[in-house]
């Protein structure tokens, strides 16, 4: 007789397979004790039940408008102080030229726009950026400014978070990316970010965006100094906010890239996380979020293409996007930018069904 997928699994795994919501202690048990194959098998089964076999991705172009940043996060290889030779800030004209290239030459339907916390840019810079893009390419979706950037802009310009969001929405903002979440738990957060909002402030800015009708992604940066407990805490905080707002489009667990970061230079992290840990984080996230937030994205830029393919069998149902022109992970030694066809081939190789989606997870076409 064939054994069931869960035979030998922990009580937490049995709960997940029975469709029960997992508690914090269940999540911790899965992070520490569960057999990885059983965990992946359960996450894959739940993914199939919730999302089917389609794997989605968006034609996306990344626009990192400035690398000048008032913060100095030890996790970051991207930021520069304004006096450094390779510091840059794009003008509205440069941004529009890049947007035209993205849409006309690469077929992008989404611009993913994030940058450093520039200490001198006013709110009008961000408004004009969006207005200029929309004037030239009204059809492209502008997914711009993480909740962490929104919080910073509000503080800098002495506006409320709500006022900043309203002004940017009026300018044409369609959605928010999910970066800057990192790890919410303060015991980890204080070691990896300096000068960035707290986890609570990030969640509050995301909630306010959702209440204004702006949907957002949400990320988690893992694989540095976090404890497994902090991974579980992070995902549960996301789950609880999403129950209230229904505002997140997808959860994107991001594997930390080490190269050129202060965490590497100070010897605080000496190697990137092993793939079994990465797969465990993705599978546990899928189980914790089940029946609440059903999209779990696999970011191939950070994971690498081969592990990303495996991760699609550990709970992932989305590959984020083509990610042309990404600068942040590039600064930490990763390369980005691929074609829809290559992503589709990666999906076909694991016998799943590729589909191009839009920013809000509507299917545009199967491939």
Q: What are the residues binding ligand SF4 (CB under 6 A)?
A: 69, 71-73, 76, 78-79, 116-117, 193, 196
Exposed / middle / buried, residue 138 (Cβ in 10 Å: 0-12, 13-18, 19+): exposed
Q: Do residues 117 and 154 lie in contact, with contact meaning Cβ atoms separated by under 8 Å?
A: no
Return the number of the residue (61 or 78) whose C-beta is nearest ligand SF4. Answer: 78
Radius of gyration of the chain (CA): 20
Return the number of the residue (117 or 222) whose C-beta is nearest ligand SF4. Answer: 117
Return the number of the residue (55 or 150) whose C-beta is nearest ligand SF4. Answer: 150
Return the number of the residue (258 or 287) whose C-beta is nearest ligand SF4. Answer: 258
H or E stretch including 11?
Answer: helix 11-17
CA distance 71 to 80: 9
Residues, the chain = 367
Return the number of the residue (72 or 265) whose C-beta is nearest ligand SF4. Answer: 72
Q: Do residues 54 and 355 lie in contact, with contact meaning Cβ atoms separated by under 8 Å?
A: yes
The residues, ordered by sequence, that sit 6+ positions from 351 with a Cβ below 8 Å of its Cβ are none
Instruction: Output the smallest distance, CB 201 to ligand SF4, in A.
Output: 13
Instruction: Output the smallest distance, CB 196 to ligand SF4, in A.
Output: 5
Return the number of the residue (287 or 328) whose C-beta is nearest ligand SF4. Answer: 328
Q: What does the DSSP 8-state code read for residue 296?
A: B
Helices 199-211, 147-157: axis angle to 10 degrees equals 90
Instruction: Output the smallest distance, CB 210 to ligand SF4, in A.
Output: 22
Return the number of the residue (194 or 364) whose C-beta is nearest ligand SF4. Answer: 194
Instruction: Output the smallest distance, CB 79 to ligand SF4, in A.
Output: 4
**DSSP notation for 203-263:** HHHHHHHHHTT-EEEEEEEESSS--HHHHHHHHHHHHHHHHHH--EEEEEEEEPP-TT-HH
Instruction: Output the smallest distance, CB 171 to ligand SF4, in A.
Output: 22
Instruction: Output the smallest distance, CB 256 to ligand SF4, in A.
Output: 11
Instruction: Output the smallest distance, CB 123 to ligand SF4, in A.
Output: 18
CA distance 169 to 211: 12
Return the number of the residue (28 or 193) whose C-beta is nearest ligand SF4. Answer: 193
How many alpha carbons lie under 13 Å from residue 343 in its C-beta half-sphere? 31
Instruction: Output the smallest distance, CB 225 to ligand SF4, in A.
Output: 15
Instruction: Output the smallest distance, CB 193 to ligand SF4, in A.
Output: 6
Return the number of the residue (73 or 284) whose C-beta is nearest ligand SF4. Answer: 73
CA distance 349 to 308: 12
C-alpha dist (Å) from residue 86 to 72, 230, 309: 16, 35, 35
How far from chain centre, in Å, is Cα 103?
Answer: 22
């Amino acid at each position: 007789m064939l054994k069931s997928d869960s035979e030998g699994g922990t009580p937490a795994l049995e709960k997940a397979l029975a469709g029960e919501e997992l508690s914090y202690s269940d999540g911790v048990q899965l992070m520490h004790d569960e057999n990885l194959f059983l965990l992946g098998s359960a996450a894959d089964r739940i993914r199939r039940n919730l999302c089917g076999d389609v794997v989605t991705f968006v034609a996306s172009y990344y626009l990192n408008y400035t690398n000048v940043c008032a913060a100095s996060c030890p996790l970051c290889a991207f930021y520069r102080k304004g006096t450094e030779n390779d510091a840059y800030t794009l003008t509205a004209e440069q941004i529009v030229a890049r947007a035209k290239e993205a849409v006309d030459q690469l077929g992008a339907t989404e611009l993913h726009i994030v940058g450093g916390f520039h200490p001198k840019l006013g709110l009008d810079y961000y408004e004009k950026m969006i207005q200029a893009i929309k004037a030239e390419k009204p059809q492209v979706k502008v997914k711009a400014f993480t909740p962490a950037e929104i919080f910073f802009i509000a503080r800098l310009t002495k506006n409320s978070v709500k006022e900043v969001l309203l002004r940017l929405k009026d300018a044409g903002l369609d959605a928010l990316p999910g970066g800057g979440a990192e790890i919410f738990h303060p015991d980890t957060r204080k070691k990896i970010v300096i000068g960035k909002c707290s986890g609570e402030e990030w969640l509050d800015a995301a909630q306010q965006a959702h209440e204004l009708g702006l949907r957002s992604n949400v990320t988690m940066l893992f694989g540095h100094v976090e404890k497994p407990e902090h991974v579980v805490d992070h995902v549960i905080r996301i789950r609880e906010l999403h129950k209230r707002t229904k505002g997140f489009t997808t959860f994107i667990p991001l594997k930390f890239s080490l190269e050129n970061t202060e965490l590497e230079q100070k010897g605080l992290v000496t190697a990137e996380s092993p793939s079994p840990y990465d797969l465990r984080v993705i599978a546990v996230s899928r189980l914790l979020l089940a029946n609440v937030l059903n999209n779990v994205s696999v970011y191939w830029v950070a994971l690498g293409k081969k592990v990303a393919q495996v991760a699609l069998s550990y709970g992932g149902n989305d590959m984020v996007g083509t990610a042309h022109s990404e600068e942040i992970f590039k600064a930490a030694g990763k390369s980005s930018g691929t074609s829809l066809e290559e992503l589709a081939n990666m999906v076909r190789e694991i016998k799943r069904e590729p589909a191009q989606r839009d920013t809000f997870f509507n299917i545009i076409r199967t491939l």
